[in-house]
Structure 1
Amino acid sequence: MTIPRTLAMGATLCSLCFSASAAEYFQLRYNIAGGLGGEVFSPIPESGWIFSGAATRFAIDKITGPDGGKLQIPVTGGVFPLPAPAPPALYPSYSANISNIDAGGSLSIVNLTFGKIWRLASKDTSIALLATVPFGRKVQIVSASATTPQLSWPSPVAPPTAAKTLTSEAFDKVYQAGIRGAIDPQNGTVSGIGDAEIQVGVLHEFGSLRTITGAALVMPTGKYDSQPAPDIGGGNFYTIRPSFQVTYQALARFAVAGKFSLGINSKNKDTHVRSGTWGGAEFALAYLTDFGVLGLHSVYIKQLQDDAGNPLGASRFESRNVGVFFTTKLPGEKNSITLQAMRPTSTRNAKTGDIFQVRTTMFF
């Protein structure tokens, strides 16, 4: 007999279409590769133009849930319709379930930053205005797996009759096809312009101590669709990101630095989900050698507020990362190139994987 594929699963398994529901696709509008490098030894530049280019590769190997383990998405139960002329009173039901989500793929992105620096008359203070435009390519691979639940038949249906009407093997085939069909639209490759941002910063220098107080506005300029599919943009919403960075050159060849950020998001106009406010902290230890700067750095991001209107619930993002960097000079007195590698040590509600970045900074 022909088993109908128009299950009540069409709506039931939509709970697996989590990309459009997760406010920022289980990642944030923040450079988890880290922004601290050998520049911690550089004094405040004179007035002039600045250009920075950063190429980042994020190799995704999994996605984590609220407990740091594999992400699990609930699948509601339902009723399996039988072919006519079977009346609805004889339709079997199946229970709610849990689906395990696996993720892979990559995000390759190039950020081009242009800006202007003005040195004030006090000589120890500068103001910087920067604009960043990202170009990226995302390969998104998502899969779901779940154990097929048992069918429960109404009491008027005798077991032999039920077995002839619908076998467990036939139901398993349709159920698993529904699981795959719900998640498959999220797979694919997309490329284009990402979410651009404008930054302003005030740089102070007090001998061996330097600070940068700034803020960034991230705009939804990247391709985004609320339907489940890969997107370069993070969503149809804005992010304000104030930050404070401090660097202390303790010795001629040793410096420490810290950066603290806050991410405040508006509501996504397409999904009506507001990603909760998050805080970030970066730390770096740098040592100046004869051939460049070697350093260790860490990045910790934690969502401080539940998502609002998210079908997946609080969905609080958290990511702890450690890595290394090396910075050396390019032709020109203040030009440099930095190589960075970062590895997550623990994550929650986050895409996870190794991150590699090459960053250049030039002054004109």
Structure 2
Amino acid sequence: MKKYFDLINDKELLTIFSNAVKIPSINPPGKEKKMCEYVENLLKTNDIEYEKVMVEQDRYDIVARIRGKSNENSIIFTGHMDVVPVSDEEMKRWNYDPFSATIKDGFLYGRGSSDMKSGLISAIYAMIVLKRNNIIPPNDIILVATIDEENYMKGSKALLNSKLISDAKYLVVCEPTDLKICNKGKGRTWADVYVKGKTAHGSQAGVGENAIYLAIRLIEKIKNTNFDEYSSEDNGNSFWRTLAINAGVEPQVVPDKCTFTVDARLSVGHETTKVWEKLEELIDQVKSEVSDFDASYEIIDERHSWHTSEENNLIRLVKKGLDSINEKCELDIFAGSTDASVLIKNSLIPVIIGPGDLSVVHRENECIKIEQLYKACRLYMSMMITSIV
């Protein structure tokens, strides 16, 4: 394997990665276009075949492929091109410009450095090295670079049932895991809840039905309801929270509508339907206490958990790759939701493994240990050129 690793130019890899971090592909509101063009140029310059999948105006996925000796066990390496915004308050806590890709003490700092341009660029560069050196992998290698992962996952949803990936069997999600093997992924679902009241003039005490107060009744029940029966050390914890609230016509009017968002993070095996069954129970409880209580909800998204057996050929392949870079093998659960929760609907077998630490993402001074970028590229290359069966 060393002769293949010697083909990797770490300096070039770091330059390509640094330039990617400097692109502010912030989402929302969906400013991935320059990053899409950057990825396109890398593929085009290195004669790697690819297609664009339009999702919205100026927003598109990129699906690239290196043909192998067979397409029976094609492997997708996927990463998203968008990064979360940097708020004004967060900006004050950064030690460097978040889009400067500043290097200090062996780390590169920048928004998206861990989440997840390091993983995406590592996979792309591994493919570039294969193409440049005319190395034919045993199976087709497919790159899927998506938009909108940080929001509604419109990018991965646009690829459901796509012929571009219909022959793929395995899915490697290059999200930050500190190079641990995440063979389990937690689920997530959220909904907007609508509580109705009755308007009245704010000066009239006791008149009207204040939708805020009615919503608080339901919110308190949500706050005091847990999902301990679904939680375990092996499969992670399930919990839900109210994360946003909005109400009011104007300050002088008793509000007749209050909307709040409930976000649930689910342990492996906890079905999303069970969350909303529980919410309906709580709504009925409030109705028994307040006769004219009126609440409804709209499910915004459902992202299912998944589990890939440690004995699966994909996990075996990852372990071989880690052995080739002298990295220990550790199994873990990925706490966040990823494009895997969407793409597994194509009957793909997933694993999440990539450079970076999830604990430093979506916050000030996000960074990546540069040595781990180099290791990830070698890991992916090893997986690309090793037969999976």
Task: Please report the TM-score for the alignment, with normalisation by the length of structure 1.
Answer: 0.24
Larger radius of gyration: 1
- Pick the structure with more helix per residue: 2
Higher RCO, 1 vs 2 (CA within 8 Å, ≥6 residues apart): 2
Task: Please report the TM-score for the alignment, with normalisation by the length of structure 2.
Answer: 0.23
